[in-house]
Amino acid sequence: MENNRSYRKISEKADIQAAMALFNSCADNGEVLYKRFDTETAFERFFLHREDGVRTISIVESQYGGFASGCLNEQGTKGYVTFVAVQPERRRQGVGRELLHTLEEQLRAMAGEKLESFEASFFNPMNFVWIVPGTDGHEHPNAPGVDVAGSGYLFLKNCGYRDFAYQNSYHLNLQGYQMTEDVARKEETLQEKGIQITYYDSEKHTGLEETLVNLNNDMWYKEIMAVAAKKDGPPLLIVDWNGKAMGFTGPLYVQENGRGYLAGVGIHSDCRGNGAGKVLFGRLCTGLRDLGAKYMTLFTGETNPARNIYEAQGFKIVRTWADMHKQAK
């Protein structure tokens, strides 16, 4: 049987409408956890006309049997698979594989000789908002990989992609939240050692920048130092050891969707091993609850010891994601 399928970059209004309809149908029927797009403008801004300058490629099958999209990292060394979907009646006919292959070829052409690999991972600069299953629309702002419970996971495996890491997404309902007795006792022990969990005050505390450098996380450094420099910015919780900020969490504020925000939790290497991280995080949850946050979500690597901090406060894993890749050459 002759294959008359062809694939092209999205360019016309009909292309956008068909691709958006397919994406939303996958979201509405639970095939993906991603939040649906309510307007064509929002869809275009995400997949086609990025305000952040990310270079994207979005393609459709000529008869609108499928839609795929991806992008390059800033250096042009990695191509990211963002989304691949096929209409139910066109599945198991090779459309998905051809879409993915065409997307990879388009990314390769856009990157040139610099391209080293393709990834489906949390490093992708195109971040989907997704809905936590079993909740009243609780959202998380990015999907850190490929949902291992979804059909896309096996599809990519069968197309040569291999797992290189796993991320767990956590959720906690903050309504009625109370810090656990174990963590409360740890806070008393810390106080006996002269270690306090308190709010950062630039006139009272030193060492915040030193701690952020010690943690060796550029994203944390930029965000937390920017917040600390604002007199009217959201509060930061710190580990206060004799006036030095030896750890941080926050900044504390509630997003419009009711989610308690979290940039991260970090403890200076000289202050680890005494439970300060668990107490700091417990105080964060309490502070966000008091500010009116309905829930918190976060993710961390499967082997990251920080998961013990989250689980100590009652956070539960609601999804596991695989970070996947394959060589481009």
**Would the pLDDT of 2 be above 70?**
no
For residue 86, which of 107, 49, 109, 59 has the smallest C-alpha distance? 59
Rounded to whole angstroms, the Cα distance separating 239 from 241 reads 6
User: Do residue 128 and residue 233 come from a single domain?
Assistant: no
Rounded to whole angstroms, the Cα distance separating 46 from 248 reads 32
Domain annotation covers residue 306? no
pLDDT band at 329 (very low <50, low <70, confident <90, very high): confident
Number of compact structural domains in the chain: 2
Q: How does DSSP assign 81-99, residue by residue? A: EEEEEE-GGGTTTTHHHHH
CB atoms within 10 A of CB 310: 25
| Range 182-203 average pLDDT | 94
Q: How does DSSP assign 55-74, residue by residue? A: -EEEEEETTSSEEEEEEE-T
Would you say 304 and 168 are in contact if contact means Cβ atoms under 8 Å apart? no
**Would the pLDDT of 105 be above 80?**
yes
For residue 262, which of 280, 250, 276, 270 has the smallest C-alpha distance? 250
For residue 287, which of 138, 196, 174 has the smallest C-alpha distance? 174
pLDDT band at 26 (very low <50, low <70, confident <90, very high): very high
| Range 255-268 average pLDDT | 95
User: What per-residue confidence (pLDDT) applies to 5?
Assistant: 81
User: Do residue 125 and residue 223 come from a single domain?
Assistant: no
User: What per-residue confidence (pLDDT) applies to 3?
Assistant: 61
**Would the pLDDT of 12 be above 90?**
yes
User: What per-residue confidence (pLDDT) applies to 1?
Assistant: 38
* Helix 13-28 / helix 40-47 crossing angle, nearest 10 deg: 90
Domain annotation covers residue 311? no
CATH number at residue 222: 3.40.630.30
- Prior bond of 251 cis (ω within 30°): yes
Domain annotation covers residue 304? no
pLDDT band at 231 (very low <50, low <70, confident <90, very high): confident
pLDDT band at 305 (very low <50, low <70, confident <90, very high): confident
User: Do residue 18 and residue 156 come from a single domain?
Assistant: yes
Residues 6+ apart with CB under 8 A from 176: none
User: Do residue 130 and residue 188 come from a single domain?
Assistant: no
Rounded to whole angstroms, the Cα distance separating 316 from 298 reads 10
Would you say 160 and 326 are in contact if contact means Cβ atoms under 8 Å apart? yes
User: Do residue 214 and residue 192 come from a single domain?
Assistant: yes
| Range 293-306 average pLDDT | 94
Q: Percent of the chain scored above 70 by pLDDT?
A: 99
| Range 74-103 average pLDDT | 96
pTM comes to: 0.89
User: Do residue 110 and residue 238 come from a single domain?
Assistant: no
Rounded to whole angstroms, the Cα distance separating 71 from 99 reads 14
User: What per-residue confidence (pLDDT) applies to 94?
Assistant: 94
User: Do residue 162 and residue 24 come from a single domain?
Assistant: yes
User: What per-residue confidence (pLDDT) applies to 4?
Assistant: 67
Average pLDDT of every residue of the chain: 94
Three-state DSSP at 45 gives: helix
**Domain range for 80:** 7-167+323-327
User: What per-residue confidence (pLDDT) applies to 57?
Assistant: 97
Q: Which residue has the higher pLDDT, 3 or 141?
A: 141
